[in-house]
Chains A and B, each alone.
Chain A
Amino acid sequence: MKPNEKEYMDRYIYQVIRRLPKAQRDEVRMELEELISDMYADIGSMEAVLTELGDPAEFAKQYQNDRQYLIGPEYFETYLWFVKVVLICAAAPILAISLIHAIGEMPTMTSQNAAPVMIRAIAEGLAKGITNAILSCISAFGVVTLIFAIMERQKVKIELKKAEKWSVEKLSQDKKITEFRWQPKFLEPVPDKRAIISRGESIVGIVFIVIFSVLLIFSPHFFSAIFTQGGTVTMVPVFNLDQWESILPIFVLSLLIGLIDEILRLVVGVYCKLVMISNILCGAIQIVLSAVVLKVLPIWNPDFVSELELALGSQADSVAKFLTHWNGDMVSNGLLAFIALVTFLEIGTTIYKTLRYGASSKKS
Chain B
Amino acid sequence: MGEEKDLLSTLLLEIRRGTLTISVLSQMKEPKYGYALVQNLEEKGVAIDPNTLYPLLRRLESQGLLESKWETGGAKPRKYYQRTEYGTKIYKQLKTYWENLSDGMERLLREEEA
Chain A residue at smallest Cβ distance from B62: A65
CB-CB < 8 A to B79: which residues of A? 30-31, 34
Contact: B58 with A35, CB < 8 Å?
no
Contact partner, A31, options B49, B54, B89, Cβ 8 Å: B54
Q: Residues of B with Cβ closer than 8 Å to A?
A: 33-35, 39, 49-52, 54-56, 58, 63-64, 70, 76-79, 86, 89, 93
Given contacts A31-B79, A37-B76, A53 and B55 within 8 Å (CB-CB): no
CB-CB < 8 A to B63: which residues of A? 167
CB distance from A236 to the nearest CB of B (A): 73
CB-CB < 8 A to A63: which residues of B? 54-55, 58
CB distance from A353 to the nearest CB of B (A): 49
Q: List 18 A-B contacts (CB under 8 A).
A: A28-B58, A30-B70, A31-B34, A31-B54, A31-B79, A34-B33, A34-B34, A34-B76, A34-B77, A34-B78, A34-B79, A35-B34, A37-B76, A52-B49, A53-B51, A54-B51, A62-B52, A63-B58
Measured in the bound complex, the distance between the Cα atoms of B77 and A62 in whole Å is 23
Measured in the bound complex, the distance between the Cα atoms of B21 and A161 in whole Å is 22
Contact partner, A171, options B34, B49, B77, B89, Cβ 8 Å: B89
Chain B residue at smallest Cβ distance from A33: B76
Measured in the bound complex, the distance between the Cα atoms of B89 and A53 in whole Å is 33
Contact: A35 with B77, CB < 8 Å?
no
Contact: A30 with B50, CB < 8 Å?
no
> Which 5 residue pairs of A and B lie closest in terms of their CB atoms, listed nearest first?
A38-B35, A62-B55, A59-B51, A63-B55, A53-B51
CB-CB < 8 A to B49: which residues of A? 52, 54
CB-CB < 8 A to A245: which residues of B? none
Measured in the bound complex, the distance between the Cα atoms of B18 and A302 in whole Å is 81
- Which residues A14-49 have CB closer than 8 A to chain B? 28, 30-35, 37-39, 42
Chain B residue at smallest Cβ distance from A49: B50
Contact partner, A42, options B35, B55, B77, Cβ 8 Å: B35
Measured in the bound complex, the distance between the Cα atoms of B89 and A30 in whole Å is 30
Measured in the bound complex, the distance between the Cα atoms of B54 and A340 in whole Å is 72
Contact: B77 with A30, CB < 8 Å?
yes
Contact: A34 with B51, CB < 8 Å?
no
CB-CB < 8 A to A31: which residues of B? 34, 54, 79
Contact: A167 with B64, CB < 8 Å?
yes
Q: Does A58 contact B (CB under 8 A)?
A: yes
- Which residues A38-83 have CB closer than 8 A to chain B? 38-39, 42, 52-54, 58-59, 62-63
Contact: A53 with B52, CB < 8 Å?
no
Measured in the bound complex, the distance between the Cα atoms of B8 and A245 in whole Å is 70
Contact: B55 with A34, CB < 8 Å?
no
CB distance from B103 to the nearest CB of A (A): 23
Measured in the bound complex, the distance between the Cα atoms of B35 and A63 in whole Å is 17
Measured in the bound complex, the distance between the Cα atoms of B77 and A167 in whole Å is 32
Contact: B77 with A53, CB < 8 Å?
no
Chain B residue at smallest Cβ distance from A37: B76
CB distance from B50 to the nearest CB of A (A): 6
Chain B residue at smallest Cβ distance from A65: B59
CB distance from A38 to the nearest CB of B (A): 4
CB distance from B40 to the nearest CB of A (A): 13
CB-CB < 8 A to B70: which residues of A? 30
Contact: A35 with B54, CB < 8 Å?
yes
Contact partner, A35, options B50, B56, B64, B93, Cβ 8 Å: B50
CB-CB < 8 A to A52: which residues of B? 49-50
Measured in the bound complex, the distance between the Cα atoms of B76 and A58 in whole Å is 27
Chain B residue at smallest Cβ distance from A54: B51
CB-CB < 8 A to B52: which residues of A? 62
Contact partner, A32, options B33, B54, B78, Cβ 8 Å: B54
CB-CB < 8 A to A167: which residues of B? 63-64, 86
Q: Which of A28, A35, A37, A63 has the most CB of B within 10 A?
A: A35
Chain A residue at smallest Cβ distance from B58: A63
Contact: A62 with B64, CB < 8 Å?
no
